Structure 1
Amino acid sequence: MILKQIPHLVSTVWGGEKLKKYKDPEGSFDGPLGETWEVSTLENGLSLCENKQSLEEALEGKILTYLIKFIDTNKNLSIQVHPDNEYAHIHEDALGKDECWYILDAENNAGIYLGLKDEVTKERLQEAIESGENVNELLNFINVQKGDFFNIPAGSIHAIGEGVTLVEVQQSSGVTYRVWDWNRMGLDGKPRELHVKKAMDVINFKPSANKLEYFQYKNLDSSGLLTSNNYFNARIKVLKAGDESVLSLNGISSIVMLEGTCEIDDTEINEYESAVVKDIESAILKAITDSKVLVVKQI
């Protein structure tokens, strides 16, 4: 069964305008559009099937281990970190959050903040937060371009910078601890809540866990595997118009169109649209135009 999805739209203080072209062509969405939750069973951000049934209901009790988002930034995101399963279970009664990013577009000199610079200790970071320093100066800034990929394990301090559009695949969890938010106000005109104590508990300060190679960096603009973990694997498929590819599927899989238009079992999926594939072991993906597709399979 192919279940095309209607995403949950999220207005954020840092959101941009690019996603509105695909998700709000009538211009009815109010505010900057930062995230679209394309494939989600989280209660506070359910994606819907075309019949308006929630994906959670359509899966009939089956557990979805991942969540897929498009993210577009007009300003920097907060510097933040996500806990692992053990910490999240104890403190939030929730799952932790591993995630990964595939860059779809980036303005000149745009980038991400990822990992701490050499010799930044827990004490040094705490001091910077308490004394009102610009915390971003303690993180590595990495210029990004289309096709860049980064895996972000739980415990990794990070922020997406302004001028970046990406697709995120993450563990199905909503737990985020903000470390620093650029001394700005939220959409309600008030400072957004920080979670410094919990963040300091979970940040991985090991030097080896703050190096670029730890984040599985690669630039992939052709077909290939992005990453595989305990929850999902994510792969890019690049097809020329008329090409066909047989997809071996298991569990609950998702097809996300990054460029172009494809058909899967006679269901057309256009650029920036997503579909969940349920109870099908294999399917034929046919490119109507030159296409780039993200295929996510549940482990």
Structure 2
Amino acid sequence: MNSMNLLLKLEPSLSFKIWGGEKLKTIKNIETEKSLGETWEISTHPSGPSQLSVNKTNLSELVELSYLLKYIDTSDNLSVQVHPDDEYAHEHENEKGKTECWLILDAEPGSGIYMGFKPEVTRKEFKTALEAGLAMNNYLKFYEVSAGDFFVVPAGAVHAIGKGVTLVEVQQSSGVTYRVWDWGRVGDDGKPRELHINKAMDCLRFDQGFNRQLELSKKEGLFKDVGAQSLYNHPDFKAELINLGKGDKKEIRLAPKEGLTVLRGSIGLDGEIYKAFDSGIATSDGIVLAEAMEECSILLVKNRDS
């Protein structure tokens, strides 16, 4: 990537969903009647590559990333679903598996996420209930959430983001999702959305140790303290959060393919103003000076080979 700047601003790929909300459209000044569920901010995945703001070139024409960063906003529950691990995804989909992590940015009172099975739920019990058409959310753990909560969602974990939640997600660069249950609703065509029961049952993890670890991965109050904190290390990406107070200055060392997004507030970076929900990609090794115009938070994501 040839540029005078170390950091290049990006434009997201938009993903319209039946469960999408209005917040992302408002923040990004997007005029559409459709429900906007996701903005793929830093992506080279063929299903939704982001673009360079300066010339609208697809980022995928310049680099290949092992991670994908997106914002998600919900007005309804997402389907109960699971993602495969690398081995299963390679064999059945010719793709990577998908482990992801979520940092909650906003949530309506009482809103939350479903993740992991309740204790003692067995594969046989769950499959029988599924075939009987019972409500699958009754078998899952529910976590009420607020801004600053953080969750790791590994491959094999049953999960669903609830309605009224806005979050940022960092994941492996993969598009593989197996729907287990969709709350009995229909899609835009008036028909039930496709489910992937057999593949989902292949991938779901019912062992209690695994599901207990999901609960232990939760962190809270991550926007409270000024400074940098590591969120999650995965073989394909590393995520780090930096909180700055108004007027703070901080040198941030970047490597090629390292991405960042501003989660809250506004900040000067590499001669550009970045506001909340703006994203950029590093073009080479170097240091940018972050100058916080107000209290703000930045999420940094390192590529596998950075």
1:225 corresponds in structure 2 to 230
- One-letter code aligned to 1:39: I
Q: Does 1:35 align with 2:38?
A: yes
1:105 corresponds in structure 2 to 106
For residues 29-55 of structure 1, what are the alpha-carbon distances to aligned partners after superposition, in whole Å with 9 as ceiling and x for unaligned? 231111111111111111111110001
Work out whether residues 14 and 75 of structure 1, in 8 Å CA contact, stay in contact via their aligned partners in 2: yes
Provide TM-score, normalisation by structure 1. 0.95
1:57 corresponds in structure 2 to 61
For residue 228 of structure 1, report the CA deviation from its aligned partner. Answer: 1.0
For residue 213 of structure 1, report the CA deviation from its aligned partner. Answer: 5.0
1:204 corresponds in structure 2 to 205
**Secondary structure class of the residue paired with 1:252:** coil
- One-letter code aligned to 1:22: I
One of 280, 283, 289 as aligned partner of 1:278? 283
1:135 corresponds in structure 2 to 136
Give % identity.
46
For residue 203 of structure 1, report the CA deviation from its aligned partner. Answer: 0.7
Work out whether residues 265 and 283 of structure 1, in 8 Å CA contact, stay in contact via their aligned partners in 2: yes
Work out whether residues 233 and 296 of structure 1, in 8 Å CA contact, stay in contact via their aligned partners in 2: yes
For the residues of structure 1 that align with 2:234 and 2:49, how far apart are their CA atoms? 23
Structure 2 alignment gaps of length 5 or more:
1-5
Higher mean C-alpha deviation, range 4-13 or range 234-243: 234-243
For residues 170-195 of structure 1, what are the alpha-carbon distances to aligned partners after superposition, in whole Å with 9 as ceiling and x for unaligned? 00000000000001001222111000
1:144 corresponds in structure 2 to 145
Spell out the pairing of 1:232-251 with structure 2 (5 A cutoff).
Answer: 232-251=237-256
Work out whether residues 152 and 215 of structure 1, in 8 Å CA contact, stay in contact via their aligned partners in 2: no
Work out whether residues 112 and 144 of structure 1, in 8 Å CA contact, stay in contact via their aligned partners in 2: yes
For the residues of structure 2 that align with 1:26 and 1:102, how far apart are their CA atoms? 23
Count of residues paired in the alignment: 294
Higher mean C-alpha deviation, range 281-290 or range 225-234: 281-290
Work out whether residues 100 and 150 of structure 1, in 8 Å CA contact, stay in contact via their aligned partners in 2: yes
1:193 corresponds in structure 2 to 194
- Cα RMSD between the aligned structures? 1.3
Provide TM-score, normalisation by structure 2. 0.93
**Secondary structure class of the residue paired with 1:95:** coil
Work out whether residues 255 and 294 of structure 1, in 8 Å CA contact, stay in contact via their aligned partners in 2: yes
Work out whether residues 255 and 282 of structure 2, in 8 Å CA contact, stay in contact via their aligned partners in 1: no
- One-letter code aligned to 1:69: K
For the residues of structure 2 that align with 1:137 and 1:70, how far apart are their CA atoms? 27
1:296 corresponds in structure 2 to 301
- One-letter code aligned to 1:56: S
For residue 288 of structure 1, report the CA deviation from its aligned partner. Answer: 2.1
**Secondary structure class of the residue paired with 2:95:** coil
For residue 269 of structure 1, report the CA deviation from its aligned partner. Answer: 0.9
